[in-house]
Amino acid sequence: MKITIIGAGIVGVTTSYFLAKHGYEVEVLERQEGPALETSFANAGMITPSMADPWNSPGILTTLVKNIGRKDSAFLLRLNALPSLIGWGLSFLLNSNKKTFLKNTHLSAGLSCYSLQVLKELRAELGLEYEQRETGSLKVFRDKGSMDKYAKISSYLEQYDMRFKMVYGTEILKIEPSLEPVIDELCGAIFYPDDEAGNAYKFTCEVAKAAEKEGVKFRYGVSAEKLNMVDDAIFGISTNEGDVKADKYILCTGSFSPILAQGVGIDIPVRPVKGYSISVPLNGWNKGPIMPIVDDGFHAAITPLGNILRVAGTAEFAGYDDRLDQDRINNLYELLEEIYPNFGAAVKREYVNEWCGFRPMSADGVPFIGKTPIENLFVNTGHGPLGWTMASGCAKMLCDIVTDVTPKLDPYSYRLGRC
Ligand SMILES: Cc1cc2nc3c(=O)[nH]c(=O)nc-3n(C[C@H](O)[C@H](O)[C@H](O)COP(=O)(O)OP(=O)(O)OC[C@H]3O[C@@H](n4cnc5c(N)ncnc54)[C@H](O)[C@@H]3O)c2cc1C
């Protein structure tokens, strides 16, 4: 049985590994020249089941309206993106009422915790090295109201055995001494000891190598242009390199999934939400950060990865516009300087890699994993700001669905067509 996966981001590559391990003949089509060169390339690197709450939390509408056109805001809605957001945007907002938000947080948290478990197993099985850190993460707050609000979410997530500790002043410094210069500006922090971090690009490349050893054939530079149907099934894919045929097909094309699916009459409510990152050389800073620091106000994070600090975040509804907006990038430099004033002030921008990517955001903040109305077409997409956190679990779950094994989590909750 041959399966063709479209997309070699972190989701497609991990999916290919599990399916090949299961004995399938697997081929992956990827338009780039290697794995993880789009959104999985330079994300914040955090594996944070603790932050599983969807972004469309109660109050998101006010936040978005207040920030229209504000280049320094964490959330930016560009007016020219509005037409592409009409149906999806309404669903995104409808999902932000308290009851639905909690239901979606529950689904997202269950999946993230499961995924962390699968990631640990994969790491042990394959001996993966990807600049990983099993240090936990720290969310810092500048005002008590935000901290109390987030503490409630953390309490809610305790049902998944996600531990958290609220810390203040010198207690924060015991966990993360590098925050010493700004400690007086923080009203407190929440420490999540079970979170992890790591370089998603390196992880994906390592898993791709392992998948190749299991027989997966990666075809880079191959762009899927159209899914072709005969009767009720996919018959093949038209690509820039000719037609490709398989028995089953899986869309792992991140933010671009709706485009291919639309061609065969399937609506995938996923839209791109642009985010930015800067990768700053640590230059031997030997008392540098130990763990990812998430700044709640900025909606951004600073993560030590190997010999760089990755500053990543901000959300911009800008359609598929992949230009690097210098104002948004500047926000990240500012955050770096706010959290690490000495280090931030000394950064030489010519040595910094600036990047942006599209988070594949589903309307309810939960990914789509599983079957589609077309019998031999499956999806694994819509992981939004948590694709690194969720990739391993989603890949295993999709493999279970394809092979008719009962998945650990109920796939009905993650089905396409639920919103
Ligand atoms: C700034 C930022 C910070 C983030 N931080 C975190 C974080 O700390 N933790 C976390 O868990 N998540 C984070 N994320 C989210 C995470 O990076 C994404 O959810 C994840 O990378 C999505 O993976 P993917 O494989 O679905 O998509 P992608 O990595 O985009 O992969 C899709 C692949 O499909 C290919 N493709 C698309 N269309 C076609 C086609 N027609 N033919 C052939 N190939 C095609 C693309 O080239 C691409 O390689 C962040 C995202 C951003 C932008």
Domains, in order of start, for the chain: 2-222+248-414 (3.50.50.60)
Ligand 1 center from residue 145 Cα (angstroms)? 33
**Contact 42 CB / ligand 1 (< 6 Å):** no
Cα(284)–Cα(292) distance, rounded to whole angstroms?
Answer: 18
Confidence category of residue 293, pLDDT binned at 50, 70, 90: very high
Ligand 1 probe mutation, 40, 273, 314, 320, most atoms within 8 A of CB: 40
H or E stretch at 334: helix 326-339
Ligand 1 center from residue 8 Cα (angstroms)? 9
Cα(317)–Cα(37) distance, rounded to whole angstroms?
Answer: 21
Instruction: Tell me what the pLDDT averaged over the chain comes to.
Output: 96
What is the chain's alpha carbon radius of gyration, rounded to the nearest angstrom? 21
Q: In the predicted model, what is the mean pLDDT of residues 27-50?
A: 98
Rounded to 10 deg, the angle between the 144-157 and 98-126 helix axes is: 70
**Contact 357 CB / ligand 1 (< 6 Å):** yes
Bridging pattern class, strands 224-230 and 233-239:
antiparallel
SS3 annotation, 121-189: HHHHHHCCCCCCECCCEEEEECCHHHHHHHHHHHHHHHHHCCCCEEECCHHHHHHCHHHHHHHHHCCEE
**DSSP-assigned beta bridge partners for residue 218:** 28
Q: In the predicted model, what is the mean pLDDT of residues 130-135?
A: 98
| Chain segment 109-118, per-residue pLDDT in tens | 999 999 999 9
| Chain segment 310-353, per-residue pLDDT in tens | 999 989 999 999 999 999 999 999 999 999 999 999 999 999 99
Ligand 1 center from residue 66 Cα (angstroms)? 28
Determine which residue's CA is closest to atom 14 belonging to ligand 1: 385
Determine which residue's CA is closest to atom 35 belonging to ligand 1: 7
| Chain segment 214-242, per-residue pLDDT in tens | 999 999 999 999 999 999 999 999 999 99
Q: In the predicted model, what is the mean pLDDT of residues 245-255?
A: 98
Residue 397 has pLDDT above 80, yes or no: yes
State residue 278's pLDDT score: 98
| 3-state class (DSSP) for residue 229 | strand
Ligand 1 center from residue 171 Cα (angstroms)? 36
Question: Are 160 and 49 in contact, with CB atoms under 8 Å apart?
Answer: yes
Task: Give the tokens for residue 199.
Answer: 């370089």
Cα(317)–Cα(109) distance, rounded to whole angstroms?
Answer: 24
**Contact 367 CB / ligand 1 (< 6 Å):** no
Q: What is the pTM of this model?
A: 0.98
Confidence category of residue 91, pLDDT binned at 50, 70, 90: very high
State residue 224's pLDDT score: 98
Q: In the predicted model, what is the mean pLDDT of residues 378-382?
A: 98
| Chain segment 189-204, per-residue pLDDT in tens | 999 999 999 999 999 9
Determine which residue's CA is closest to atom 19 belonging to ligand 1: 387
Ligand 1 center from residue 14 Cα (angstroms)? 12
**DSSP-assigned beta bridge partners for residue 378:** 250, 371
Task: Give the tokens for residue 315.
Answer: 């959300």
Residue 403 has pLDDT above 90, yes or no: yes
Q: Which numbered atom of ligand 1 lies nearest the CA of 7?
A: 34
